[in-house]
Amino acid sequence: MKVLIDRSEVDRRIGEMAREIATDYAGSAPLLIGILNGAAQFMMALLDRLPNEMLEQLDYDFVDVSSYRGSESTGRVELTKDLVVAVEGREVLVVDGIVDTGRSLAFVMELVRGRRPRSLKTCTLLDKSARRSVPLVVDYRGFEIEDVFVVGYGMDYDQRYRALRHIAAIE
């Protein structure tokens, strides 16, 4: 494994993203939806950097989808854990750790859109946009990365290395 983005760089960028999100959602009551397990660590780090006034208004929930085995996409996405919190009329921000082909996030966007949120945006720590196979707008992007398989900050290799505080590339 080789360090791709070190801990301080990840922390710095998450701080910037939190400031941007805090500005854009000021005065509203956002609902953050994280896609398990990859988004969990990033979403908690993001929440940790948001101002208290915003946390008083904000809710969060998680969904889980499955589509990925080892380092190769199967192309099929299914919902394995649904939301508990109601989406209708909410300002929803869907959060993932990494967007690759875009199928997982696009699937969750469709699911959420069908429940009539007031607004719907996307946020990801990492984006391999060159790999996109479905149209998708990423509203908040931490880092654009090349087509390498990465681990850390929620991203696993067969369930290992998720908890790292930096992003590493598997070679």
Closer residue to Mg ion, CB minimum distance, 30 or 38: 38
Which residue among the candidates 11, 59, 61, 100 is catalytic per the annotation?
A: 100
| Active site annotation includes 158 | no
Residues that bind ligand 5GP (CB under 6 A): 38, 67-68, 73, 96-105, 149-151, 155-157
Regarding 38 and contact with Mg ion (CB under 5 A), the answer is yes
Coil, strand or helix: which one is 44?
A: helix
* Binding at 136: pick from Mg ion, ligand 5GP, none (beta carbon under 5-8 Å per type): none
Please classify residue 123 by burial: count the beta carbons closer than 10 Å to its beta carbon, then call 0-12 exposed, 13-18 middle and 19+ buried: buried
Least separation in angstroms between residue 164's CB and ligand 5GP is 11
Contact 36, 81 (CB under 8 A): yes
Closer residue to ligand 5GP, CB minimum distance, 26 or 134: 134
* Binding at 138: pick from Mg ion, ligand 5GP, none (beta carbon under 5-8 Å per type): none
Closer residue to ligand 5GP, CB minimum distance, 76 or 118: 76
Least separation in angstroms between residue 140's CB and ligand 5GP is 15
The distance of Cα 41 from the centroid of its chain, to the nearest Å, equals: 9
- Residue 54: phi and psi, rounded to 5, are -75, -40
d(CA 171, CA 161): 14
Edge-to-edge, what's the strand order for the sheet holding 167-169? 2-5, 167-169, 150-151
Piece in contact with Mg ion (CB under 5 A), picked from 35-43, 54-62, 83-91, 151-159: 35-43
**Sole residue written with tokens 């654009």:** 144
Contact 31, 59 (CB under 8 A): yes
Closer residue to Mg ion, CB minimum distance, 38 or 102: 38
Binding residues for Mg ion (CB under 5 A) = 38
